[in-house]
Structure 1
Amino acid sequence: MPTFLLGPQRFLTTAGTVVRSVAPEGPVATVTAGWQDRETADEELHEVMDGRSRNLQLYRRLTEVIETDDHFAREALAHRDAMDELAGIYSVRLQRALESAYVVARRPTREDIAESAFADAIRGVRDIDAWYLRSVDQLYGELQAAAPPEASEPIARNRAEVAELLRDATVLAIAGGHVGILLRCLRLFEAVPREVPVVAWSAGAMAMTDRVVLYNDNGPQGVRGAEVWDRGAARVHDVVAMPHARRRLKLDDPVHAKAFVRRFAPAACLLLDDGTQVEISADGRVPDDARVLTETGAREGAA
């Protein structure tokens, strides 16, 4: 089934049009868990979906599980604390490695020496990313062993209810918001079935990929190197989904663009600005007319 990755919907709404093109009739399962406490404030989304939406209410279900399964709640909290500690160490290692790569790239040096040094610096950054993801996998394995979701009555019950809603759905629409909460809910309740088309935007689009990458060149702390956040739902492979690209990236900085693209290769760095919609076919191919980041900046056409 195809997956449609969309840009932000706040200023230019395209989700309804895409959903209608995929499934003109029938229930539309929606996920607004990334909105957290505002999850059920989805009247506008319901209207965009022509009154066909059925909210899976994954955030409410997560809250219910935490409140009713003390054992799972304790282990989940310990897991979150460990993930925070890991992310802190990762960030320290990563930012220093990236700064080294940027300095090497800007240093006036003979071309062949400069290219060799830069390539080696990026290999070092990729090694840190790989170490982080291996550590993330280890922590998920520990949580699975300590508190298997299959052994939890509230998780099993909510999974069954979500599965029933998804069986009746003609398409699944996933909104943005807090990508960490969204991923936690999608993962816990197994809410991304392969047999249903998916339309996802903003953080929802990020969650559909192999790995979620956070970036913001215009944040209050200035330019910081992009950081891998977590494993994604892996509905889409070899894609880095990048909503708000124009607002958050210095697309005119050739050093940062070159480092970003090489670091995440062979993944296509997909720029998802307002109004953007990209269909990823069942075979995972990124369309040729998709707007992607290349070593020389943004351009039309996948690498």
Structure 2
Amino acid sequence: MRTILLGPQRFMTTAGTALRSLGVEGRVATVNAGWEEREDSVEELDAVLEGRATHLRLYHRTFDVIEKDEVFAAAALSFRDHHDSLLSLYRLRLQHAMDGLYAVVRRTREGEQRAKGAHAAYGAVDDAVETVRHVDAWYAAQLKNLYAELDAAAPLDSSGVIAWHRGEIEAVLADSAALVLTGGHVGTLLRALRLFAIRVPDTLPVIAWSAGAMALTERVVLFHEFGPEGATEAEVFDRGLGRVKGVVALPHARRRLRLDDKDRCAVMARRFTDAHCVLLDDGTALELTPDGGLPKGARILGTDGAVHELGAPAPGAAAPTEQGENA
């Protein structure tokens, strides 16, 4: 299973080099549904992929389904409204939990500096992190219920128009030498992937960046600390395809994270300690190891709030040490 995660392609295009590194011949299937109404503006993408692209057009296929399948259209509209309501409650609870966590971090740091003792924090930070994780888990469980309600209201397997599109998509993937997932709006991309039940064979090489890289993971986390409305807390948005395990993908990390704020970075790393928080900045190219792990040199957030490279020697270490991958 060959999978390559790239940094954003707007300012530094590396997808063509990644494709050539795979050494495959034949057509390349592309999913750029995240571009939404710009999905057919593919001149630059075609050039990067050397004219080998076959575009699956999942965004346009989605609207074809909505126009022709009234049952699914009604169920999708209801799902959207309920999901918006759930997100509103989740963000409210998350903000309060994160505010409390940061307050505990500040208080315990000050206490440790004064007391210089090992018990100054009394595990308060770990407990506050667990509170945030509980809110994340609550949201994920409620979202799972919403998906179950959507499936019950409009079973995808009973729709003739969806089945027709799925048949076409499966035929293209079966005849492709590789799959490319581009960036854009990750929510739109995830909905399209789910609607058409995209299952990427392990034998099919995949190249992905930005939203596409996020969609390959098990858990899609949204983040932006320099947004137009100020810093917003990272939120667990949805499930991904799960091809890339043990990774929280962070595209545009330098532009969207306050990497100089060690408290915030440490909190993110501690919140997602079951995975590596991987920075995918311009020029990044990470080919996963044969067992699906991250390669040496991948830049990750550490629980100390600093950026580390996998496989690099620890500070003060006499010799390099291997770092295992999280399950």
Q: 2:298 aligns with which of 256, 277, 290?
A: 290
Q: Which residue of 2 aligns with 1:155?
A: 162
Contact 1:150 1:156 in 2 (8 A): yes
Mapped partners of 1:35, 1:272: distance in 2:
19
| Matched residue SS, 1:51 | coil
Q: Following TM superposition, where does structure 1 have runs of at least 4 consecutive aligned residues deviating by more than 4 angstroms?
A: none
Q: Amino acid of the residue matched to residue 222 of structure 1? A: G
Q: Amino acid of the residue matched to residue 109 of structure 1? A: G
Mapped partners of 2:122, 2:53: distance in 1:
52
Contact 2:6 2:208 in 1 (8 A): yes
Judge which range, 208-217 or 289-298, deviates more: 289-298
Residue-pair matches, total: 303
Mapped partners of 1:222, 1:112: distance in 2:
35
Q: Amino acid of the residue matched to residue 187 of structure 2? A: G
Output one character per residue of 1:200-247: Cα deviation in whole Å (capped at 9) or x when no partner: 001110111111101111112222211111111111111000000000
Q: Amino acid of the residue matched to residue 57 of structure 1? A: R
Contact 1:23 1:171 in 2 (8 A): no
Give the aligned CA root-mean-square deviation in angstroms: 1.3
Q: Which residue of 2 aligns with 1:133?
A: 140
TM-score (norm 1): 0.97
Q: Percent identity?
A: 51
Mapped partners of 1:88, 1:288: distance in 2:
39
Mapped partners of 1:261, 1:26: distance in 2:
40
| Matched residue SS, 1:123 | helix
Q: Amino acid of the residue matched to residue 150 of structure 2? A: L
Mapped partners of 1:153, 1:27: distance in 2:
28
| Matched residue SS, 1:217 | strand
Mapped partners of 1:82, 1:124: distance in 2:
24
5+ residue gaps, structure 1, are none
5+ residue gaps, structure 2, are 113-117, 312-322
Give 1 or 2 for the bigger CA radius of gyration.
2
Contact 1:3 1:282 in 2 (8 A): no
Residues 81, 282 of structure 1: CA spacing in aligned structure 2 closer, same or farther, 3 A cutoff? farther
Please report how far the alpha carbon of residue 134 of structure 1 lies from its aligned counterpart in structure 2 after TM superposition: 0.9
Mapped partners of 2:231, 2:41: distance in 1:
34
| Matched residue SS, 2:90 | helix
Q: 2:111 aligns with which of 80, 99, 109?
A: 109
Contact 1:9 1:15 in 2 (8 A): yes
Q: Amino acid of the residue matched to residue 141 of structure 2? A: R
TM-score (norm 2): 0.90
Output one character per residue of 1:103-137: Cα deviation in whole Å (capped at 9) or x when no partner: 11111224524251111000000111111111111
Q: Amino acid of the residue matched to residue 307 of structure 2? A: A
Q: Which residue of 2 aligns with 1:51?
A: 51
